Structure 1
């Protein structure tokens, strides 16, 4: 079933605990990180934590046209989407190595993980 015989359960548990600690540390780092998305050449910016919490929206006074609120609304949506994309990339970079450790190439060594 396993190459070389039965798996060492204590070693597997130790690896699982280490991965859990690394995951918690990566999640804390993401929550403390911030990314900014922009739209309209910087007229609107949105700041978000690495774990996806929107913390600020900044709108340049020159972006405000009372006759054209639809464009401003679109810029806000675009800036938030840009920030979310950046947060997702940051999360993928932080979590990717941990998720990769679950595979058969040196991770827990369990089939299907």
Structure 2
């Protein structure tokens, strides 16, 4: 029983470390050939947004909004892949997936 508790504590420490690393990691996404670029953390938090002047057309804000959404989705997809790669082995060690995480 003591060994099981030590193993669970080690797993919890590894999980906390992985979560910290994901929160500190940054991944980029873009759309429109680089007209819109975003950066999110590995946890999916949006931390920066860059819009090229060529993307701004006052007569067509809908296209700009679509480009922003596409860039954010691109970055979040990369962040989710990073999460699965980093957290997946830890979740497997816990006997399956962790509710709320995408693996």
- 1:32-111 → structure 2 map (5 Å cutoff): 32-103=24-95
Gaps spanning 5+ residues in structure 1: where?
A: 1-8, 105-113
TM-score (norm 2): 0.89
Query: SS state of the match for residue 57, structure 1?
Result: strand
CA distance in 2 between partners of 1:58 and 1:89 (Å): 23
Question: Could you tell me how far 1:52 is from its partner in structure 2?
Answer: 1.2
Number of residue pairs aligned between Structure 1 and Structure 2: 96
Instruction: Provide the secondary structure at the position in 1 that maps to 2:43.
Output: coil
Which position in structure 2 is the counterpart of 1:30? 22
In the alignment, does 2:1 pair up with 1:17? no
In our comparison, the structure showing a higher alpha carbon Rg is: 1
The CA deviation string for residues 9-43 of structure 1, in whole angstroms up to 9 with x for no partner, is 00100100000000000000001100011100111
- Equivalents in 2 of 1:17, 1:24: separation in Å? 11
Give the structure-1-normalised TM-score.
Answer: 0.82
**Post-superposition, which runs of at least 4 consecutive aligned residues in structure 1 deviate over 4 A?**
none
